[in-house]
Structure 1
Amino acid sequence: MPDTAQPDAPLHFDTLQVHAGTAPDPATGARQVPIYQSTAFVFRDAEHAARLFNLQEVGYIYSRLTNPTVMALANRVAALEGGAGAVCCSSGHAAQIMALFPLMQPGCNVVASTRLYGGTVTQFTQTIRRFGWSAKFVDIDDEEAIRGAIDENTRAVFCESISNPGGHVTDLPMVARAAQAGGVPLIVDNTSASPYLCRPIEHGATIVVHSATKYLTGNGTVTGGVIVDSGTFDWSASDRFPSLSEPEPAYHGLKFHETFGPMAFTFHGIAVGLRDLGMTMNPQGAHYTLLGIETLSLRMERHVRNAVAVARWLEADERVAEVTYAGLESSPYYARAARICPRGAGALFTVRLKGGYEACVRFVNALRLFSHVANLGDTRSLVIHSASTTHRQLSEEQQRAAGVAPDVVRLSIGIEDSRDLIADLDRALSA
């Protein structure tokens, strides 16, 4: 990756979110990261071009592969997650496919949590089958089930740090132990937590993926994804990962792990993944996300504070049957959340209404401040009835396993004044 030197002393999160991965523009002195809206980049000479294409030198060739604005974002998110490197791509769903791409071959499977976003469940049950891949779904709280599901064709374990939509907090150290015992990497979707609330690599994760669309950007303006590699997995320890351990024909027999060490997965993601799949993030989108990350810690603190206030109020209301927020003392995941997400359990949870499906519909339609949209992690508070929208394609059994039964609505709590949010919820519940 391009050299973006930082001070020698380790920096704290609030400083990293502003400075990591960037330096003043060398050509102009511009302090903010410029938007390099350029498709291609001029080579110094023929030898320079050849070295870049042979992966003998790091630099910029074509924006499908690398772009200075996008690379600044990759470096910043890698720093915030404590990873060795990162690759940015076009969406969170793209990030999931990009993360699996170097690991999987036809006939291989991924062991996945049942508590996943509905679109991910569909991607894993339907779409990846077209590549000859498959998924085994397990209760991610059951260590024996995870270990039992891993077989000789398993190439990864996949879960969410804080699940969408229910706000379930995963016991990441336990899942990491199970993955390690099976000789496979653990991939964690950290979208709902953000690196401010949870750093999965510190709990044993190998790879972290994000939908940058959500909390990283924070304002509903960008679709993007990020894959962060810890740089700690030994891709050559077995013959399971030939894309990383064996000679790559497209690069004259280069072995990514042997050549790039801790950066093998990241370089493969750029040199093969982005080259051939083309799931590229655009520079303007990367710029917006960089701007959003500058206030990530400030926003997450307010998100969490508001979520606690709103969840407590809802839990005490007789019109509500259940609140799933792990930040409530009554939650079975409260102690785990304090361990895995010490700065707070996020701002995403579900609410079960006593009036059932029809009550949920009336409730959603009556809200005024909460926006009814298929998104989360916005500065604005959001609501959706997952069973009829984001998880509609799942069976009712799958919906209930994911925590989105027909009598449940999902709330994403924003950074408004919590008193106004509670007043809006009260008015809608009365409807």
Structure 2
Amino acid sequence: MSTTYGFDTLQIHAGARPDPATGARQTPIYQTTAYVFRDADHAAALFNLQEVGFIYSRLTNPTIAVLQERMATLEGGAGAVCCSSGHGAQIMALFPLMEPGRNVVASTRLYGGTVTQFSHTIRRFGWSAKFVDFDDTDAVAAAIDDDTRAVFCESISNPGGYITDLDAIAAIADRAGVPLIVDNTSATPYLCRPIEHGATLVVNSLTKFLTGNGTVVGGCVVDSGRFDWSASDKFPSLSAPEPAYHGLKFHETFGPLAFTFHSIAVGLRDLGMTLNPQAAHYTLMGIETLSLRMQRHCENAVKVATWLENDPRIAAVTYAGLPSSPWHHRVERICPRGAGGLFTFALKGGYDTCMKLIDNVEIFSHVANLGDTRSLIIHSASTTHRQLTPEQQTAAGAGPDVVRVSIGTEDADDLIADLDQALAKAAG
């Protein structure tokens, strides 16, 4: 489908066509494990990567293929691969790039689960992470060494809603000859398109705003198709001969789609982090209303954050959509349609007041999720960021006196009234 159409059109139509067998207009759920080959030669060609098609649903599935094409289109990439979760997408993004002894330079302002994954879990693969304040661009550049294979950040950070200067970070990664990976979960491609700011790979948790209704766990990696994997010997999985495919060189053979093909033919084949087709179907339906929901998320967030900032019970609000935010100047350049629906606020009463506030909200749901149509609230330091040290929590914007909110699409006045009554009980 032509990418010259507007976002609202592409979020409904990209990747989707009437079902050739039945004429069904909505993408069917192809709930099947395997696919019949035309003949023996067809099967051999598929397994040898000489022909594109469906083999086995751990690798490819027609419903998921539509979602992958839609995500690639919306993010402005060459290709995409979907997998079982946002955390799975992060491993899928790093997998073709890393080897034992290699490292990734990562922002200190990341989701707590990502910090834990990078601090501990990836060490089991022999990988490591260096955490740096990405506002200090000199420190980012200094952290990159001969073993660095990627730079990683979030476009709008979880939990604080901090906006990364993607252009500056992309320039540093480009000079070092390594890819920039951007987690675009909190922004979605409607608010931010990291590839336009120099990102090589974009990861998304489909679980959040993209599906938007709290029913799906899934992830996606979008490849820009612009990185030269053969420019150095740093990325042999993509530039050197692949023994499992009789010496095939992915970048030489597939060009801009090298990362995507490798992620399917090797990543999904061996890691098995497959998205199920029903989850893909739900996500496709959610994406059809993405722009409408994100507009409302942003409008409500501005109203709620403004009210909180002016309430004497609140010590600070992190929302980048407020003129007082130190990152407000980045909104127009990085997220021109709005600063998203995620932010934190600190309570003057500290930890105990945070707990009482959460226990007394009525409309807000106390859950470990974000990006739902429902407004959500959580105390990050004791939950999503609990595994981090106090220093890491503070660096991530998840101190003990901080509450995270994901503003939904309800009536903003009702959300404000709910916070007001809960704050009154918490203070009392």
TM-score normalised to the size of structure 1?
Answer: 0.98
CA RMSD of aligned residues (A): 0.5
Question: Is 2:270 the counterpart of 1:283?
Answer: no
| Counterpart position of 1:302 | 296
4+ aligned runs moved over 6 Å, structure 1: none
| Counterpart position of 1:234 | 228
Distance 1:121 1:147 in 2: 20
| Counterpart position of 1:172 | 166
Distance 2:210 2:36 in 1: 32
How far apart are residue 255 of structure 1 and its match? Answer: 0.1
Question: Is 2:355 the counterpart of 1:361?
Answer: yes
How far apart are residue 142 of structure 1 and its match? Answer: 1.1
Selected match of 1:377 from 360, 371, 386: 371
What code does the residue aligned with 1:368 have? E
Distance 2:344 2:332 in 1: 19
Distance 2:136 2:45 in 1: 49
SS of residue paired to 1:409: strand
Deviations 1:321-345 (A, max 9, x none): 0000000000011111121000000
| Counterpart position of 2:240 | 246
| Counterpart position of 2:145 | 151
SS of residue paired to 1:327: coil
Percent of aligned pairs sharing the same letter: 76
| Counterpart position of 1:24 | 18
| Counterpart position of 1:429 | 423
Deviations 1:67-126 (A, max 9, x none): 000110010010000000000000000000000000000000000000000000000000
| Counterpart position of 1:201 | 195
Q: For 1:65-144, what aligned pairs fall within 5 Å after superposition? A: 65-144=59-138
Distance 2:232 2:137 in 1: 23
What code does the residue aligned with 2:93 have? A
Question: Is 2:154 the counterpart of 1:160?
Answer: yes
**Structure 1: any 5+ residue segments left out of the alignment?**
1-5
SS of residue paired to 1:188: strand
SS of residue paired to 1:210: strand
SS of residue paired to 1:237: coil
What code does the residue aligned with 1:59 have? G
| Counterpart position of 2:256 | 262
How far apart are residue 42 of structure 1 and its match? Answer: 0.3
Selected match of 1:419 from 393, 413, 425: 413
Selected match of 2:211 from 209, 217, 226: 217
Distance 1:29 1:146 in 2: 52
| Counterpart position of 1:3 | none
Distance 2:140 2:313 in 1: 37
SS of residue paired to 2:359: helix
Distance 2:347 2:274 in 1: 41
What code does the residue aligned with 2:225 have? G
Deviations 1:120-161 (A, max 9, x none): 000000000000000000011111111101111000000000
Distance 1:273 1:410 in 2: 34
SS of residue paired to 2:267: helix
- Report the count of equivalent residues: 425
How far apart are residue 48 of structure 1 and its match? Answer: 0.2
Selected match of 1:44 from 27, 38, 46: 38
Distance 2:145 2:231 in 1: 16
Selected match of 2:381 from 387, 393, 406: 387
Distance 2:44 2:38 in 1: 11
What code does the residue aligned with 2:111 have? Y
| Counterpart position of 1:410 | 404
Distance 1:337 1:376 in 2: 20
How far apart are residue 10 of structure 1 and its match? Answer: 1.1
What code does the residue aligned with 2:418 have? D
SS of residue paired to 2:336: coil
What code does the residue aligned with 2:143 have? A
| Counterpart position of 2:341 | 347
